[in-house]
Structures are given as structure tokens and as C-alpha cells.
Structure 1
Amino acid sequence: MGRSMSAVRAASRAFLLTWQSIFRDKAALLLFFISGIVYSFFYPLPYSAETVRRVPVAIVDQDQSALSRQLIRFAGAHPSILVVGVSTRPEAAQELVWQGEAAGAMVIPADFSRKVLAGLQPEIEVSGHGAYPLLNKVVLNGLAEVAGTVSAGIELRRLGATTASAMQAEASRQPLTVEPLPLFNVREGYASYIVPGVVVLIIQQTFLLGIGLLFGSWRSEKSFPYAPGAASYCGALTAFALVVTLNALYFFGFVFWWQDYPRGGNLIGTAVLTVLFAYSVAALGMLIGMFFRTRERSMQLLVATSLPIMFLSGLAWPMSAIPVPLQVLGWSLPSTAAIQGFIATNQMGASLHEVRMELAGLLGLMVLFVALGMRKWRRFVLPA
């Protein structure tokens, strides 16, 4: 009984010492808490529009007929497209693209209306600026939709001449109707897709940087605030895990509500994932931190890892397209399982059974990092 009470006191003392050390170190405090607040307002800002709209395009009208002018009007009315120039010369459109004033172009050939009236199928050239994949996709899809709308109207007029009513003509042209219904990303926006996953990476990386500063300072100054033993390790681990948990609660609770991202699908599942993620990241941070001899070393080694870790997580690049050795490397980091798990539970309402692989991955990493960290702890607290 006395030994257990002594362990509790040692753990409680380490817990309090950890928080005192965080609040005394301004740089660590900035990374642990202030940076998350800054990120929460400025990182989603470029994606606030959710979808790309009013992308500038140039149109080459070599036909100059009533039908080609209708096509241009339809392009101007499309929400994704902004017509910035109409000319009869392809060189003019090419110049706008080269100057960066247009992200794509549509060329209406000189025989466009003649082929339509003759019952033939004219060809419209659509091109986009390949240097900007997102804008290129919007331009190509938008101009294709414009051409498809005009084509449908022409076809309906032809069918209307041979059928009894316009409704029969529409049913004859399109016997099956499709009604797309987005289930989770209801806005079909980029921010709702990318930000919830990147938030997990932000929490992990800022924490690893902050804890690296603390441990590097303790190592360089030979001033270790902890007593040796497993109890002090567990107290410090719980304190650091609480830092990660508070950041997760801020992002998942306030930021997602403020930015109106999909959220709250499975609160219990998200809570379980948060606890496992917090302890696994805290254990990883303590393990890595004990290898730093100066506080600057964490910045030098960890800042450049954020982008590779993001690609390894399967968020920006499909997991099935990642080579198996890199998949194994990705799953050795808490962020991979956490990103997949949080998106599934918080955004999509998945059950704990459906994210069992992510839960098992975080639990396994937590046990591994804690085992390695406790082995390193005694030598760190009591250096030879």
C-alpha cells in the first residue's frame, strides 16, 4: 500500500512539474497551444470558398453564328467559369494563357453551326493549363458541361420535331435520370476534405517540436526535473498526453463547428481514438525528445518531415497507390492511423468495429513507444 501511494505521489509530482516546465518555456508554450490557435484560423482561410469558382478562360469563336454566341453565353453563365476574352484568333487565346490571365481556352470551329444544321457532330476543342491541376480540372469539366448543355438542347429540339411533347422528347433522350447525393462532404468542397485530416498532422508535429525543445533544454542544461522510475515517466506521459487531448478537443470541438466542417458522426469513437492518439503521440515525443542534445535540434530534424508524413498517411495520395514498404513506414507513425480513424468516426460516423484496424494500430504504437521510452527514461533522468 505504501509503495503504491509513493508511486502515485511520484506520478502526480511529475505531472505538475511537466505543466510548470511548459508554462516556463515560452517557445514550448507557443508550439503546444498558441500555434494551434494560429493554425486554426489561417490554415483553412485559403480553402474557405470550398470549391473553385470563376476560373478565367478564353474563347476562340471562328464560327460567329447565333449558335456559337449561345455557347459563349452559356459559358459566361457557368458558376465555375469566367470568360475573360473572346476572339477569332487562336493566338490571342494562347497569349492570355501564357500571360497567366486565363487558365484554359475553348475553340469553336468555323463549321460549327453548319455541321449542326446538317445533322453532323461538330468538334469543339477544349484545353486547360496543365501547370495548375486543380484549375485545369475545373476548366475542362466546366467547358465540357457547357458543351453538353448546348448539345442536349439541340438534341431535344430535334426529338421535339418527331414526338408529341417536350416531356416525351426529354424522356426519349434520357431514359434514366441520375440524382447525385453527397453523404459526408455535403458541400463537395476542398476544405471539408483536406482540413480535418491535416489538423491531425498539425497536432502531432507541433507537439513533437515542442517536446523536443523541452527535452533538448533539459539535456543541454543538465537540469532534469523528474525523479527516476516508472511512476515519474507515467506522470509526465499523462501530462503530455493531456496537451495533445486539449488540442484535439479545440480543433474537433470548436474549429470544426466554427468552420462548419462535417463533424460529430460518432462522438464515442472519436473520444476513444483521441485518447489512444494522445498517448501514442506523447510517448513518441518523449522517446524522440530523449535523443536531442540541444533544443534547436528538434526544429532542424522535424520541420522537414511534415510533408512526407502527410503523403504517407494516405490523405493526399491514395494508400493503395503507395508502395508497401512506404505503407509500413506510414503506419509506424500515429498520424496515419489517426487521420484515417478520425475522418471515419468524426466525419463519416463509422463505428468502433469499422475502425478496428486504426484502433489496433494506435494501441500497438502506444505500447511500443511506452516500452522503448521507459527503457530510455532511466538513462535520461540519471545520465552516466
Structure 2
Amino acid sequence: MKAILTVFRIELARIFSLKPAFAVLVVASIVYAAFYPQPYRNESLRDVPIAVVDLDGTDSSRELARRVDASADVAVGAVFPDQASATQDVFTRNLYGVLVIPQFFERDLLHHRRSPVALYVDASYFLIYQRLSGGVTSVARTMGAEVETARLVAAGVDPVLAAAAADPMPLTAVPLFNPQGGYATYILPAAFVLILQQTLLIGVGLLGTYRNDELSAELAASAGPVSVVAGKLLAYLVLEIFIMSFYLIALPYLYNIPRLGGALSILIFALPFALAVSALGLVLAGLFRDPLTVQLVSAALGIPFLFLAGFSWPTEAIPPFLHVVSTLLPSTSAINGMVAVSQMGASIGDVRQPFLTLWALAIAYTTIAILLESRGKQRVVAR
């Protein structure tokens, strides 16, 4: 136990004295926390500008355009006499869609005929496409239901029955755990876990590859590989208690991300995650044994980690082989479980599978790190 505490003390001091490791573990964590969430502060798109081509020029067509402009998602940026003029502004990205109201729009409505409107939307930006299509569709359906209700009432149908006939199955959509339907609420909790993994992985890798003069050969020999690895993991865990508490508990409050989970449950779930990532960092350091190589490998794996995590690209669309590989990454199980615990208020029992997977990864990577530490000592003794 004394050897573990000695290694812990030395490694904790190295975190703050070794500038590259301190820059990644502490400085980078602060910088990411301050700047990464800023582009998502607005949560969701509002008032996306489109062009309206009104070929009818009647009260009904102008009422449709007015309602579209009044919706929260869409704004009428310009009104054009023909579609060719509107298309030019879409090509220059001044506008992101064109709503075409056909000729005889009002006449067809008055004669109880269908009068389809056309919406052309820039689908190269999926969020814009989603907002525009959803906003215009909602307005068109509402106005259509009102027209049909008015027709039935004029025909002598009871207003209540007329409203039910025009819209027999009204839908009330309730966005659970993301009241605003915002992108930040979806992306940030998962991104925070990835940031924690990347900074800890690179920082531990750097600490493991830079020479440790204070941890002498005599102490290392007396401590043994198990004590050395345990002391280092304890040092990283103490640091991550503060960093992960900041990321997983404080930042959601600062950025108004919905949260239902308690702090204790979050920290309990984060424990095996921190151990698994720290042990994986020791494994990388033992395999490559060069600071630059560790940085390059960790940086190169950042994008694959992002896609394999299952939130930027759906897990169901990932090939089975890659899905199995993704379970070897702590971030995959950590994101699934942490989002459920922190945002949805799930208990540890509810996320038992990812929780146990993280413990299995922590044990496996710690065992490999001990074997690599033992091999390194044997190499030193042989010299």
C-alpha cells in the first residue's frame, strides 16, 4: 500500500509539472468546455429564410404566405413573380428554399378541389431541410383543415363534427428529454464524454512515455508492476473526479441542458469510464513508448471514435463487425449509459449493460497495462 501511495504522489505531481500532459489534461479541458458548446448555444434553427412565388395573387395565397412567415421555423425572405428569379437567390445561399403557390389556388379551394403547393428546399444542409419542410407542412395542413371545416359548416354540419371530420386524428408530439427539440441538447452530452476520453487518453499516454526520473528503478522494483499501475490509475482518478464533475454535472447547468439524473449516479457511472480510459492510455504508452507517436495515434483515432460512438451516425447503420469493435472503446458504452443517467434520470440498474461493459474494459486494459509494465521492467533489468 505504501508503494501505491508513493507512485500516486509522484504521478500526481508529474501531471502538474510535465507541461505537455498538463496542457492536455487541464488546459485543454478548460478550453474545450469554454469554446466547444458555443456554436450550439441557440439550440435549434429559427426563421430560416425562403422565397415565395405567388402565382395566384389572391387573399388565400397571401394568407398562406403570411402564416408561413409567422411560424417559428420559417421566414419569408422575399416574394418573386416567377420561380426562375427565386432560384437564383437559392443558388447564392441568400435563401434556402422556394415555396410555389400555384395559379388558381383559391379557385380550386372554393370548388373543393385539391390545390397542391410545391416546396423546393436545400437538402444539402439536413437541419435546414428538416426545419423548412416541417414548418411549411404544418402550416399547409392546418390551413387545409380549416378550409375543409369551413366547407362542412357551410353545408350544415355541426362545427364540432366538422372539425373532427377535417382532422380526425390530431397529433400531439411531446419531445421527451429534449423539450426544445434542440441540437445542443442532443449533441453536447455525448460530445462531452468524447472530449473527456480524448484528453485523458492523450494525457495519460504522454505521462507514460516521458521519462520519469523521480520514480527510480529501486522504487519501481520494490513496488512491482501492480502497484505502479494502481498508483498511476489512482492519480488519474483523483484528477478526473474534478474534471468529470465539471463536465458531466456543472456544464449541463451552465448551458441549460435538460438533466434528470443525480450527481451521485453520474459519478458512480463515470468511475469505470475513467479507469478504463486511463488504463487504455497506459496500454498505448506501453505499446508505442514515444510521446509523438502517442499523440499522432490518439489524434488519428479521434474521428473513428466519433463515428463508432453511435450518436453522429446511428448504431443501427454501423456494420456488425464495426459495432463489435466499438464496444472495445470506453466512449461507446459511456455515451449510451451517461446520457440515460444524466438526461433521462435512469438508475445504475437501468444501464447495467454499459456499466458492466465499462468495468470489463477497465479490468482488461488494466491487466494489459500491468503486463506491459512488467515487460518494461524486465527489459530494464536485462540492460
TM over 0.5: yes
CA shift digits 1:60-101 (9 cap, x unpaired): 111111111111111111111121111121111110110011
Structure 1 residues 23 and 381: CA distance shift in structure 2, 3 A = farther
Measure how far apart 1:118 and its partner are. 1.5
Which residue does 1:3 correspond to in 2?
none
CA shift digits 1:305-364 (9 cap, x unpaired): 222112111112221221110011100010000000001111112222221110121111
Say which of 278, 281, 284 aligns to 2:280.
284
What is the total number of aligned residue pairs between the two structures? 375
Q: 2:231 matched to 1:235?
A: yes
CA shift digits 1:163-190 (9 cap, x unpaired): 4654443233234443332331122211
- Asked if the contact 1:65/1:113 (under 8 Å) is kept, the reply is yes
SS in 1 for 2:287: coil
Q: Distance in 1 between matches of 2:283 and 2:344?
A: 33
SS in 2 for 1:290: helix
Q: 2:320 matched to 1:327?
A: no
CA RMSD of aligned residues (A): 1.9
Q: Distance in 1 between matches of 2:299 and 2:366?
A: 24
CA shift digits 1:193-240 (9 cap, x unpaired): 11001100100001111122222322xx88866614121221111111
Which residue does 1:185 correspond to in 2?
178
Structure 1 residues 181 and 136: CA distance shift in structure 2, 3 A = closer
Question: Unmatched 5+ residue regions in structure 1?
Answer: 1-7
SS in 2 for 1:227: helix
Which residue does 1:147 correspond to in 2?
140
Which residue does 1:274 correspond to in 2?
270
- Asked if the contact 2:306/2:312 (under 8 Å) is kept, the reply is yes
Measure how far apart 1:109 and its partner are. 1.2
Q: Distance in 2 between matches of 1:224 and 1:376?
A: 17
Measure how far apart 1:19 and its partner are. 1.2
Which residue does 1:126 correspond to in 2?
119
Letter in 1 for 2:68: A
Which residue does 1:69 correspond to in 2?
62
Q: Distance in 1 between matches of 2:261 and 2:163?
A: 40
Say which of 183, 196, 203 aligns to 2:189.
196
Which residue does 2:375 correspond to in 1?
379
- Asked if the contact 2:266/2:338 (under 8 Å) is kept, the reply is yes
Matches within 5 A, 1:142-181: 142-163=135-156, 166-181=159-174
Which residue does 1:5 correspond to in 2?
none
Measure how far apart 1:300 and its partner are. 1.4
Which residue does 1:13 correspond to in 2?
6
Deviating beyond 4 angstroms after TM superposition, the runs of 4 or more aligned structure 1 residues are 221-226
Q: Distance in 2 between matches of 1:245 and 1:380?
A: 29
Measure how far apart 1:266 and its partner are. 4.5
Letter in 2 for 1:351: S
Q: Distance in 2 between matches of 1:222 and 1:326?
A: 41
- Asked if the contact 1:252/1:263 (under 8 Å) is kept, the reply is no
Between 262-271 and 347-356, report the one with greater CA deviation. 262-271
Say which of 130, 140, 151 aligns to 1:137.
130
SS in 1 for 2:155: coil
Between 236-245 and 114-123, report the one with greater CA deviation. 236-245
Structure 1 residues 163 and 307: CA distance shift in structure 2, 3 A = farther
- Asked if the contact 1:192/1:261 (under 8 Å) is kept, the reply is yes
Letter in 2 for 1:213: L
Say which of 12, 17, 32 aligns to 2:25.
32
Question: Unmatched 5+ residue regions in structure 2?
Answer: none
Measure how far apart 1:284 and its partner are. 0.7
Q: 2:106 matched to 1:113?
A: yes
Which residue does 1:315 correspond to in 2?
311
Between 350-359 and 96-105, report the one with greater CA deviation. 350-359
Matched residues, percent identical? Answer: 32
CA shift digits 1:130-170 (9 cap, x unpaired): 21111111111111122222212211211221346544432
- Asked if the contact 2:265/2:347 (under 8 Å) is kept, the reply is yes
Letter in 1 for 2:307: F
Which residue does 2:79 correspond to in 1?
86
Q: Structure 1 length as normaliser, TM-score?
A: 0.92
Structure 1 residues 304 and 56: CA distance shift in structure 2, 3 A = farther
Structure 1 residues 207 and 381: CA distance shift in structure 2, 3 A = farther
- Asked if the contact 1:241/1:281 (under 8 Å) is kept, the reply is no
Q: Distance in 2 between matches of 1:19 and 1:163?
A: 82
- Asked if the contact 1:265/1:349 (under 8 Å) is kept, the reply is yes
- Asked if the contact 1:35/1:206 (under 8 Å) is kept, the reply is yes
Letter in 1 for 2:259: R
CA shift digits 1:10-59 (9 cap, x unpaired): 11111011111111122211211221222122111111111111111111
SS in 2 for 1:171: helix
Which residue does 1:207 correspond to in 2?
200
Between 237-246 and 40-49, report the one with greater CA deviation. 237-246
Between 195-204 and 228-237, report the one with greater CA deviation. 228-237
Which residue does 1:51 correspond to in 2?
44
Letter in 2 for 1:126: L
Q: 2:275 matched to 1:265?
A: no
Letter in 2 for 1:81: V
Q: 2:354 matched to 1:358?
A: yes
SS in 2 for 1:97: helix
Matches within 5 A, 1:210-225: 210-218=203-211
